[in-house]
Homo-oligomer: A and B are copies of this chain.
Amino acid sequence: MMEVRVLRLDHRRVRDARITTHVCLTARALGASGVFLSGDHDKKLMGNVQDVVKRWGGNFQVEYCKKWGNLLEEWKDKGGEIVHLTMYGEQVQDVTPQIRSSPRDKLVVVGGSRVPSKVYQEADWNVSVTTQPHSEVSALAIFLHMLYDGKELDLEFENGDMKVIPSARGKNVVMKNKTEKNNLDEKVTGDD
């Protein structure tokens, strides 16, 4: 199966901390195998995401990428393809079948405040999730969901410290050494 990694451009430590964290966690939860962070080298954020991976399982790589231009070139040299998510691109519902049909690894690029034209030019596909302004987090989520055709919702994450058992009402979290049920005031996320 193709490997999917996400490149987050132009991360700014203070302003983007939560959005970039949500980009990373969305990439992980929806089946990407790692993220490259460009812009500020935010070790705290990277540590927080790695902590989620440790607690919740699966494999997910978090890497800093100082020169994203080189990464784009290396990715293509190794036979991978590049998908740039932008509200100006071709519509996701039109191009995803074609993107999915190519078995090559995919680098999904999500922008920062200003995306250089080089990204538009290097991308194999510029893809828009609606032509409206919204969020790189939701654009990434819907693109991955459509790329994987919904199968990402059934992914299993192995070797975590805890696991949620879906429940109509309340919380059912299985810890490695104990089971917690219906503790409705407990907060268990990687973000807050």
By a CB distance below 8 angstroms, the chain B residues around A82 are none
How many of chain A's residues touch chain B, expressed as a range?
35 or more
Oligomer copy total: 2
Which residue in chain B gives the minimum CB-CB distance to A153? B93
Which residue of B114, B135, B190 contacts A187 across the interface (Cβ within 8 Å)? B114
How distant is the Cα of A150 from the Cα of B94 in the complex, in angstroms? 12
How distant is the Cα of A192 from the Cα of B94 in the complex, in angstroms? 28
Beta-carbon contact of B167 and A132 below 8 Å: no
In the complex, per-residue mask of A24-39: 1 if CB is within 8 Å of any chain B CB, else 0: 0110111000000000
Which residue of B126, B129, B141 contacts A169 across the interface (Cβ within 8 Å)? B126
Which residue of B28, B115, B116 contacts A132 across the interface (Cβ within 8 Å)? B28
Given contacts A113-B192, A114-B185, A185-B117, contact A134 B91 (CB under 8 A): no
With an 8 A cutoff between CB atoms, is A52 at the interface?
Answer: yes
Beta-carbon contact of A173 and B142 below 8 Å: no
Which residue of B18, B150, B167, B169 contacts A18 across the interface (Cβ within 8 Å)? B18
By a CB distance below 8 angstroms, the chain B residues around A71 are none
Besides A15-B18, A26-B137, A88-B166, 17 other A-B contacts (C-beta < 8 A) = A16-B18, A18-B18, A22-B137, A26-B135, A29-B134, A88-B171, A89-B166, A92-B153, A93-B153, A114-B187, A120-B184, A128-B164, A129-B153, A133-B190, A134-B141, A135-B191, A142-B145
